[in-house]
Amino acid sequence: MAVPYPIEPMLAIPGEIPSDSGAYALEVKWDGIRALAYVDGGVRVTGRHGADFTSRYPEISAAMAPLAGRRAVVDGEVVAFDPEGRPSFGRLQRRMHVADPAGAHLLGRLPVSYLPFDLLHLDGHTLLDLPYLDRRALLDSLGLGAPPYLPCEPAVLEATRRQGLEGVVAKRLDSPYRPGRRAEWWIKVKNLRTAEVVVGGWRPGKGRRAGGVGSLLLGVYAGASPAEFLFVGHVGTGFTDAMLGDVLRLIEPLEIGQSPFSDGLPREISRNARWVRPDVVGEVAFSMWTRDGRLRNPVWRGVRADKIPAEVRREELR
């Protein structure tokens, strides 16, 4: 049986630590991007939506060396660690848009790691219907360095908070793997509130930001087809100079003549705004959603090239 290709990854729902904790295990939620590795003579790598990541992250092919001579599909996360050993989404950002990291001399300066957490296929056998615990046992037997799963206890979440990690994913021990499905068997519990957003415009900067981006105007989609594109706020903090330059290069070619938002923007926000086609997805950290559906205290975290704009919705409403 040939290795199936491609497979859409299974997704988690947002929530809290389950009350029936004995039925679940916890995995650390790494601040990276999803990638599946297909091993069948060589190694191919795809992102969440099937984009080819093989040349972009050659470290994944190297990490699959223990599977030489075998056929497998592995699910995991691409993570960039800072010099102190903490996951850094900012460092990963600098690799996400580079098709040839070796040619750009980034492999030594900005290496990434591949952290496997599931096994979907092995040596001609599909594992999708096996319980999570059995799939993990097989994965752990392969010598790929998969991070351990942990007891489902609040103390584990607290430990990740103290270490500055994103959170945990609670996975039901008897759960099968359902490609492309956001299933209640997997629950992501975050220490930091983050949201995916789509850039619908920007306001020019002043002072040291003159000539560039001062703030981005953000939206999410709501409702059935055709979905409404709703304004959720603007963000002007969290950017490095490099991030500002990268964002401007992405959105300048997308400029359009009128607002893409379905609802009206406050006059003080829309004044001098430059509108863009909503094709660029980003991520922000924030303190809360306001009653009128706006992000409070958003801080830019980076572009999410692995996300599709039409799928960006208020997570609490899923």
Same domain, 186 and 233: no
Share of the chain above pLDDT 90, in %: 68
* Domain match, 291 and 268 both: yes
**What is the gyration radius of the CA atoms in the chain, in angstroms?**
20
Question: Mean pLDDT over all residues of the chain?
Answer: 91
Domain co-membership, 68 together with 182? yes
Does 277 fall in a domain?
Answer: yes
Per-position b or e across 19-34, b if 16+ CB within 10 A of its CB = eeeeebbbbbbbbbbb
Work out the average pLDDT over 179-192.
93
**Residue 168 shares a structural domain with residue 219:** no
- Contact criterion met (CB below 8 Å) for 5 and 38: yes
Q: Are 116 and 236 found together in one domain? A: no
29 flagged as catalytic: yes
Final residue in a domain of this structure, among 135, 169, 190: 190
Task: Say yes or no: 184 and 224 in one domain.
Answer: no
Domain contains 1: no
- Dihedral over Cα of 134, 137, 141, 142: its sign: positive
Same domain, 99 and 243: no
Q: Are 164 and 244 in the same domain?
A: no
Is 129 found in the same domain as 73? yes
pLDDT tens-digit readout, 9-45? 999 999 999 999 999 999 999 989 999 999 999 999 9
Which of 153, 175, 190 lies at the terminal end of a domain, its last residue? 190
Worst-scoring range by mean pLDDT, 109-113, 164-168, 287-291? 287-291
Domain end marker among 190, 215, 230: 190
Domain that holds residue 44: 11-190
Write out pLDDT tens, residues 157-179.
Answer: 999 999 989 899 999 999 999 99
